[in-house]
Structure 1
Amino acid sequence: MQRFPARAVMSDAETPLPQPLLEDQELDLLDDFLDSDRVDADALDLIGAHGFLVALAVAPSDVPAATWVAELFHGEPAFEDDAEREAILGLLERLRHTAIEVLEGGGLPELPFELELGELAPEETPIGDWCAGFMEGVFLDEAAWFADDEEAAATLLLPFMLLSGLFEDEPDMAELAGDSARLEGLVAQLPELLLDLYLHYRVPPETPKPKPRRKAPASRGKGHKR
């Protein structure tokens, strides 16, 4: 059975407050657009798009904007004009970039839902939708996520996979999904788990400073004839 990543317990005083990635009115604007009939029915909604873009912020390699925009929208939306296109794509890019800035500073991103399941299955909540969107971001360049250390990547991504509901047919996942207390614990830790992922993929481990070379002792009796 796969194991969950071990986490150090932090006190409330040590845990930074989650930071919003966009203002409320900006999220409302994106929500209205993504929910409109000018967007393909299979496009991600606001919750899924938020998870998708946070995954791109964490990802070990940058995905070209043209690639992720086409995936998020499942094609090209029917923008009213160039100004609307620039505004919507600008908000999406800023959400991704702000997530990078927050995580780079050791902060926690604010997620667009309450961090509790309320006795519901994850896939019946916005939490499951967000994690499914996050995994869509992983699938966009899956090889890069698992290239360097497949076991570590699988361990770090396991909570997102489990909460997404996309892997419920796998025997190990079905067993873990039955542990409601564990699921609630994972939901509560989602912002911290994102920071773990970012540090794993985007912040290289510190290399030890080279030790100064010891000077060779000066030769004794230089020039002294025996």
Structure 2
Amino acid sequence: MSDTPQPQPLLDDDDLDLLDDFLDSERVDAEALDLIGAHGFLVALAVAPSDVPPASWVAELFHGEPTFADDAERETILGLLEALRRNAIAALEQGLLPELPFELVLDGLAAEETPIGDWCAGFMEGVFLDEAAWFEEDEETAATLLLPFMALSGLFDEEPDMAEFTADTARLEALVAQLPELVLDLYLHYRVPPETPKPTPRKKKPVGRDGKRKR
């Protein structure tokens, strides 16, 4: 029996369908993220080393202010988005893997032609919201951990080094299969501080017959 935990859904199917319908409607800007991109975006915010104010990420996700039917709909949609982010944090905090809303295979297609590319592009949009925070502590490690998301997003294809990396289809397929684990690796890097070793107890000096400690 495998020790790998089963990926945890971040919202149930009905809630995902409700979000999908709203994000796909004409009441949302054409440049707004769709459900897959929004999912990646919010998972990135769950991992991010610093909290982004809701007003900032809501405006970025929707590319402005959508046309809500009423206050109740606004509360419902924004509540579901925040619930997805918080559920991602809760799962990752327990060492669980987030369930991603697509099959983790490329089937020979370029990543940007699949939901995988859309999700990773959404994830990188979340990184761009506060890019400095992701790289300020350890730029080299951050770049290594984010490389799979960058490669699969299709946003960096013009860079010569990235073109060489993405040409290896077997490596890309392996990265796709590992995406939930890679998200957890990022969370542990940014959100879980390394354990501080316990101080070694000072050894007591032996006491001589005269009751004084020996030097």
Shorter-chain TM-score bucket reads over 0.9
Name the structure 2 match of 1:128: 117
Name the structure 2 match of 1:205: 194
Distance 1:24 1:221 in 2: 78
Deviation larger for 52-61 or 204-213 = 204-213
- Whichever residue aligns with residue 66 of structure 1, its letter is A
Name the structure 1 match of 2:69: 80
Structure 1: tracts of 5 or more residues without a match:
1-11
Q: Deviations over 1:108-134 (max 9, x none)?
A: 000010000010000000000000000
Distance 2:161 2:4 in 1: 31
Name the structure 2 match of 1:156: 145
Shift of 1:219: 5.7
Q: Deviations over 1:163-215 (max 9, x none)?
A: 00000000011011111111100000000000100000000111111111222
Shift of 1:220: 4.8
- Whichever residue aligns with residue 183 of structure 2, its letter is L
SS where residue 61 of structure 2 aligns? helix
SS where residue 25 of structure 2 aligns? coil
TM-score for the superposition, normalised by structure 2: 0.96
Q: Percent identity?
A: 79
Task: State the superposition RMSD in angstroms.
Answer: 1.2
Distance 1:78 1:219 in 2: 84
Name the structure 2 match of 1:5: none
Q: How many residues align?
A: 212
Structure 2: tracts of 5 or more residues without a match:
none
Q: Which one of 100, 115, 131 corresponds to residue 142 of structure 1? A: 131
Matches within 5 A, 1:44-63: 44-63=33-52
| 1:31 matched to 2:23 | no
Distance 2:209 2:65 in 1: 80
TM-score for the superposition, normalised by structure 1: 0.91
Distance 1:222 1:100 in 2: 58
